[in-house]
Amino acid sequence: MSVSLHRLSGKREMENVHLALEEDDLYSGYNDYNPTFDSEELENDVGFQQAVRTSHGRRPPSRIPMTSSVGRPMTGAVQDGATRPMTAVRAAGYTSSLTRGSTFDPLGQSKGPAPPLEAKNEDTPEEKIKILEKKVNDLIEESCMAHSMGSLQLALEKAKEAGRKERALVRQREQSGNADHINLDLTYSVLLNLANQYENNEMYPEALNSYQVIVKNKMFSNAGRLKVNMANIYFKQKNYPKAIKFYRMALDQISNAHKEMRIKIMQNIGVVFVRMGQYSDAITSFEHIMSESPNIKTGFNLILCYYAIGDRERMKKAFQKLISVPLGIDDEDKYIPSNDDTSSNMVTEAIKNDKLHQMERDLKILAEKYIMTAAKLIAPAVETSFATGFDWCVDMVKSSQYVELANDLEINKAITYLRQKDFNQAVETLKTFEKKDSRVKSAAATNLSFLYFLEKDYDQADRYADLAMTADRYNPAALINKGNTVFIKQDYEKAAEFYKEALRNDSSCTEALYNLGLTYKKLNRLEEALDCFLKLHAILRNSAQVMYQLAHLYELLEDPQQAIEWLMQVISVTPTDPQALAKLGELHDGEGDKSQAFQYYYESFRYFPSNIDVIEWLGAYYIETQFCEKAIQYFERATLIQPTQVKWQLMVASCYRRSGNYQKALETYKDIHHKFPENVECLRFLVRLCTDMGLKEVQEYATKLKKVEKMKEIREQRVKSGREGSGRGRREGREGSAGSAGISTPVLTSPKKASTMGISEDVKADSSHSSNSTKGERLSAKMRSLPASSEPYEASSPKELDASYMDPLGPQMERPKTGAKRRTEDDDFADEELGDDLLPE
């Protein structure tokens, strides 16, 4: 309210008082302002932005009249409905101009979008340098990532490209006059990465040159440490003197503050001395490390050096130092949850299998491995006998933090007895564990069961398998041994149950899976056996035994093509396996591919020239292809292998005869007659040859032939009469017993039928011998006679020859299908399947 007062007296005083009209706004004008001073809207002011970028703002400004409703100067002006508050405090978005028709817009949305940001100018030297630096850093990262993924060549290419970009960056800085601002860290990173990638790609000269560039540059701090990398390269190149020189140079440039780094370098120096055979110098390095910062690896290396120089007393001291090295890991009891505190149990579960606990477990396993190896190494050397040495090691271990290793050392003592073939001492040592705790008792009983199984004492093997299972039912090796003893007794269903239980306890137990497949094959459950061996093949990709079993199963399932494919995989793993090659030849022969069969049979003969079946097939193949001269060498080898079998020598003589070498055939027949004077076939061929060649010995051989034939007839009559007499005796006995029992019509079995039944029982009893005999019978049955047109010595009817053996080569078109001896499915069952039942050493 504006009032003008004057000092008057009386009524005249009130006359000069001017009252404001009600319709006037007493506060008008305070919010009016000139938009020129609105700094908040300068970014969106087109004229202002244009003036800043151009000379538009140099024009003289236009004058804006500023008046108020009462005729005095205003503190603000109104333009485009936007007002600027001039008071000290103002509520956000609220102005008095709202009453004048302006809209409420606190976010300024009515003014449209902000103008786009101005693009950077990449043509300036500084921008180019920054972009190039970023590219170099990206290339270094890509190189490291490629190396981590195993792409060594790509990592090297990226490292080389980073080096080229970095040199271009240095040149650009020099050209722009910023040579003083060269990024040394970037140059160091590029050179170090390039050297590392050269080393990873085994390009050692280039790597050494790159390291040398870094080491010789005095501007790089702590570059001397890279001499360790250079020494490592010299070590890989087996340049041991140079390696020691650079290790020592690096050791001189590293201060005592970096104790761990110095210890590692000294350990490397000791290892190089060991490679050079300078054990005394290596001992000096290792002893210094064990006195400053003892660790398991150095302690083990020190024992090896003492063992190499044969110092018995120092070996003992080093072993005591080794078992006293602190591992710095927590006790396993820490990870056992308590039943009371729930939150503590949750923490325990969380850290039970974390990375730190896994690292502790690995460190403990490594320490136990070194201690066990050292004990087995020095036990025979520290005392007069290995048993005394083992006892000393066991006593030392019992008094250390590795008490649980004492029992394992005792079991290793038994295994050492086994290697020395002292089975009695091994058994006695293992029997001492029968009263120990369950884990050790189970391990000892498992090994005892294995030993008795190998000795074919199946009752004792079964007894100790039961003992091992009683001590530890979850021991898969004990379950496998129990299954094997049941398998031997032909109780295949029960054996399969034990193998399945072993697999439930340890799904990675390959022995149980293999034995289960064999058991299913015995039970003729071929599909389940195939499933077992396919699973096993997924675990043991290069196991020839597993692949051979798969091939045999496919053969039993009458799928020869799949069998051939699996056998091809077998020979890719073991290309010199004669049995697999012979089996491939047999399968190809069965498919009618003679040339391919010949190739595999020939390869099998080349690796194992003593397989009669392979020799027989190759000889018959050459006879079929009219190369009798080549067949002679195979039958001669068969004669060497089986000198008591006359048929191989007769085949040699027949080959000479068919190839036209009659004189050699005559000499061979004479030699056969000298060795086998009662052989009818040999005498018959001698009579024919001598007759056709007009020799005087024909009468002699004819007389001998008649005598031998007569003797043979007499023997046959005696055998026949003996059979009839024994048959009458059996019939009379049966008739007597039947009469006493009141049976009037006895049921008799003909001699022929009885003979057949007896043969079938023999086949079941021993299938391997019957297969070999039947193959010989097939050969003799099919290779009976030669064509009369081509052989003048066989003009007589085949009936004149003896029925049991005729011409060994027979008609060429009737060559028998021979093959390699089939490998039985359970060959070496005990040896193959129980190999891992001994405790790992």
For the record, the structure tokens of 452 come out as 């008795």
Dist CA 554 CA 235 (whole Å): 52
Sorting pLDDT into bands at 50, 70 and 90, what band is 264?
A: very high
Q: 598 near 585, Cβ under 8 Å? A: yes
Residue-by-residue DSSP string for 70-136: TSS--S---BTTB----SS---TT--GGGGGT----TT-GGG-PPPPPPPP-TTSHHHHHHHHHHHH
Residue-by-residue DSSP string for 386-421: HHHHHHHHHHHHHTSS-TTHHHHHHHHHHHHHHHTT
Q: 561 near 587, Cβ under 8 Å? A: no
Q: How far is CA 708 from CA 670, 703, 704, in A?
A: 16, 9, 6
Sorting pLDDT into bands at 50, 70 and 90, what band is 92?
A: low
With residues binned 3-state (H G I as helix, E B as strand, rest as coil), the percentages for the chain, rounded to 5, are 70, 0, 30
pLDDT tens digits along 618-660: 999 998 888 888 888 899 899 888 888 888 888 888 888 888 8
What is the separation of C-alpha 663 from the centre of its chain, rounded to a whole number of angstroms?
Answer: 63
| pLDDT the model gives residue 823 | 39
Q: How many other CB atoms are found less than 10 A from the CB of residue 550?
A: 24
Q: Of the ranges 258-272, 433-447, 497-511, 727-741, which one carries the lowest mean pLDDT score?
A: 727-741
Answer whether residue 330 shows pLDDT above 50: yes
For the record, the structure tokens of 446 come out as 């498992």
Please compute Rg for the chain using Cα positions: 51
pLDDT tens digits along 222-246: 777 889 999 999 999 999 999 999 9
Dist CA 340 CA 766 (whole Å): 67
Sorting pLDDT into bands at 50, 70 and 90, what band is 605?
A: very high
Range with top average pLDDT, 13-17, 403-407, 813-817: 403-407
| Residue percentage of the chain with pLDDT more than 70 | 71
From 453, 482, 457, select the one nearest 468 (Cα to Cα): 482
Q: 624 near 656, Cβ under 8 Å? A: no
pLDDT tens digits along 545-564: 999 999 999 999 999 999 99
Sorting pLDDT into bands at 50, 70 and 90, what band is 93?
A: low
Dist CA 241 CA 231 (whole Å): 10
Q: What is Dmax (Cα atoms) for the chain?
A: 195
For the record, the structure tokens of 293 come out as 């910062």
Dist CA 488 CA 139 (whole Å): 66
Sorting pLDDT into bands at 50, 70 and 90, what band is 356?
A: confident
Topology adopted by domain 433-521: 1.25.40
Q: 417 near 407, Cβ under 8 Å? A: no
H/E element, 494: helix 492-505
Question: What is the mean predicted confidence (pLDDT) over 319-344?
Answer: 77
Q: 617 near 604, Cβ under 8 Å? A: no
pTM of the model: 0.52
Three-class DSSP category at 79: strand
Dist CA 553 CA 572 (whole Å): 19
Per-residue exposure over 166-203, b if at least 16 CB sit within 10 Å of its own CB, e if not? beebeeebeeeeeeeeebeebbbbbbbbbbbbbbebee
Dist CA 109 CA 47 (whole Å): 20
Q: Which amino acid is at 120?
A: K
- Return the higher-pLDDT residue of 722 and 823: 722
| pLDDT the model gives residue 535 | 93
Backbone angles phi, psi at 795, to 5 degrees: -70, -25
Dist CA 157 CA 147 (whole Å): 11
From 805, 573, 801, select the one nearest 676 (Cα to Cα): 805
Answer whether residue 695 shows pLDDT above 60: yes
Answer whether residue 764 shows pLDDT above 60: no
Three-class DSSP category at 82: strand
State the average pLDDT for the chain. 76
H/E element, 688: helix 680-693
Helices (H) and strands (E) in the chain, counts: 36, 0
Range with top average pLDDT, 55-59, 339-343, 495-499, 777-781: 495-499
What is the separation of C-alpha 719 from the centre of its chain, rounded to a whole number of angstroms?
Answer: 65
Query: Domains of the chain: which residue ranges?
Result: 353-423, 433-521
Dist CA 171 CA 182 (whole Å): 10
| pLDDT the model gives residue 4 | 39
Q: How many other CB atoms are found less than 10 A from the CB of residue 326?
A: 8
